[in-house]
Amino acid sequence: MNKYIAILLITLSGSAFAQEYLLEINEQCSTNGAELSLKCGLTIEEKITGEKAKFIVFQSDGKWSAKQTNGIVVGRFKTLRSDENILILETSTLFSGNRTLYLFKNNLRFYLVEVAFTDTLKNNEVTIQQGTFIEVR
């Protein structure tokens, strides 16, 4: 019996220290080509559903991931910096580039910056999404 209690306590203590943030995108700006000429507008999700795009960033077993609100995991991140003010996470993109997420803990704002080069289009592409977040746990 004590063995089961110990397993339960270990499981609960691990989930108690897990972090999870719900992010809501307020604006998206993007550009492509040689010049940096950002155009801002609605995200694809907002155009289709009429609602702001949301996703969850969470830590499990010391590793950060992102998932849609329906629970489907859509990416894994490595930690570039984590302190009391900021959390910076990075992952590679499908094309040659990376995606960096900046979570500012003091004002609950985030910026998701994606920079890539596509061989298909032979072009650079930059997308910046910004919004707010809340800590879920």
For residue 24, the enclosing domain spans 19-135
Say whether pLDDT at 109 is over 80. yes
The pLDDT assigned to 8 comes to 34
Asked whether residue 137 carries a pLDDT value surpassing 80, the answer given is no
pLDDT at 1 over 80: no
Does some domain include residue 27? yes
Evaluate whether residue 93 is within a structural domain.
Answer: yes
Give 5's pLDDT tier (boundaries 50, 70, 90): very low
Q: What distance lies between CA 123 and its chain's CA centroid?
A: 24
Tokens 């910004």 belong to residue: 130
Domain annotation covers residue 6: no
- DSSP-based three-state secondary structure for 7: helix
CATH number for the domain harbouring residue 86: 2.40.160
Out of 3-12, 14-23, 89-98, least confident range? 3-12
Structural domain includes residue 1: no
Average pLDDT over every residue of 52-76: 93
- The verdict on residue 80 lying in a domain is yes
Average pLDDT score over the chain: 85
The candidate with the shortest Cα–Cα distance to 102, out of 79, 124, 118, is: 79
CA separation for the pair 45, 8 (Å, rounded): 40
Structure confidence at residue 4 as a pLDDT band (50, 70, 90): very low
Counting the structural domains of the chain, the total is: 1
For residue 11, is it within any domain?
no
The predicted-structure confidence for 10-63, as pLDDT tens digits, reads as follows 333 344 447 999 999 999 999 988 777 899 988 888 888 888 999 999 999 999
Are β-strands 86-92 and 63-68 bridged in parallel, bridged antiparallel, or unpaired? unpaired
Q: Collapsing DSSP states into helix, strand and coil, what is residue 109?
A: strand
Q: What is the pLDDT of residue 103?
A: 97
In a domain, 13, yes or no: no
Rounded to an integer, what distance in angstroms lies between the CA atom of residue 61 and that of residue 65? 11
The answer to whether residue 63 is domain-embedded is: yes
